[in-house]
Structures are given as structure tokens and as C-alpha cells.
Amino acid sequence: MRVFEVTIAKDRTPKQTTLHWPEWWGDVAPRVDVVAYQDDGLETEGAICVCDNSTWDEIAAHNDKAIAELDEATANAKGRAWRPQIEKITDEMAVIGVVAKAVRGEKLSKGDLAVIDPEDSTPGITKSPLFDVQRIAVDRGYVLGSRRVAPL
């Protein structure tokens, strides 16, 4: 597996954004997984991608300045900046119950506190997964420098 960033030129108007990928990108796009985008209004945008080694060899042969291979730490730092963890409600009724108790001035139990603790596994409030390019790549079928092929 290889991890890299593509720098994509973009034109932005109030109604539309047009991305300009490298001209040859269509040849490899079906074999590349884009796992994170940068989108901060600049004239360019980054995209973190993963692919198998043979696809990487084809990409690298273009010697395109828009492509930069990334190590795992750099990919994770960029991915975490572009896709930060957020808190999510996984059990709305449990959270509402705890909030109602707090508003009434009732003492919250350990179970109540667990519901509103995003670090606790109790349903209520949790965090989205931390961006991890290795985990994402494995989830998408990449293993040990290659791409796992699904059985026919």
C-alpha cells in the first residue's frame, strides 16, 4: 500500500467549485481510494489517497509535481486536521434524560455521567473515529503493501 497526496487546482464561484485533477488521473482513478480532502477555500485542495504498489508505480512514473508520497504520520496529521474528531449523539433519549436531570438540579449518577462522557462506551455521546490512514486502508482492503482481491 502507498499513501500520497494529490494537489488539485480548483476554480470556485459562489454556485460551483470545479476541481482540476492531473490530466492523466482518469487512468488511475478507479484504482485509487481518496480517504480525505482538504477544503478551506484556497485555490488548491489536497486529497490523501491510498493505492496498491503497482498503481503507485504508474502514478510515480508521471513525475507530476501535484503528487507527493506521504508517510503514515504526515498522512494522519493532515487527515486529522481536515477531518477532525467530532462528538456524536448515539442515544438521543439517554442524553435528553441526563440533561433533564441536570436542569432539575438532580444529582447525576455514575451511569448518567457515562452517558455524557464521549470517552466512555456507554450509548449517549461518543466521538467519531480518529483519522487513521492505516485503519482506513485496511478497512478498504489494502494489506501488506498490496490490495486484497475479493474472491469471485
Q: Is the pLDDT of residue 17 over 90?
A: no
48 and 100 together in one domain: no
**Residue 152 confidence (pLDDT):** 29
> Per residue in 47-86, pLDDT tens?
999 999 999 999 999 999 999 999 999 999 999 999 999 9
- Asked if residue 50 and residue 110 are part of one domain, the reply reads no
Classify strands 32-37 and 17-20 as parallel, antiparallel or unpaired. unpaired
Residues 80 and 98 in one domain: no
Are 81 and 91 members of one domain?
no
What is the DSSP code string of 65-120?
Answer: TTEEE--HHHHHHHHHHHS---EEES-HHHHHHHHHHHHTTPPPPHHHHHHT-TTS
pTM over 0.75: yes
Same domain? For 42 and 56 the reply is: yes
Question: Residue 28 CA to chain centroid, in angstroms?
Answer: 20
- The CA-atom distances, in angstroms, between 152 and each of 1, 52, 142, 147 are 22, 19, 17, 15
- Closest among 40, 42, 34, 35 to 9, alpha carbons compared: 42
Domain region containing 41? 2-85+129-147
For residues 118 and 52, state if they share a domain.
no
- Split into its structural domains, the chain has a count of 2
Residue 152 lies in a domain: no
* Whether residue 106 sits in one domain with residue 54: no
Residues 34 and 109 in one domain: no
Residues 103 and 67 in one domain: no
Q: Is residue 48 part of a domain?
A: yes
Residue 126: its H or E element: strand 125-127
Task: Tell me, yes or no, whether 21 and 67 share the same domain.
Answer: yes
Q: Please state the length of the chain.
A: 152
In a domain, 138, yes or no: yes
| pLDDT tens digits, 75-102 | 999 999 999 999 999 999 999 999 999 9
**74 and 93 fall within a common domain:** no
Pair (80, 100) in one structural domain: no
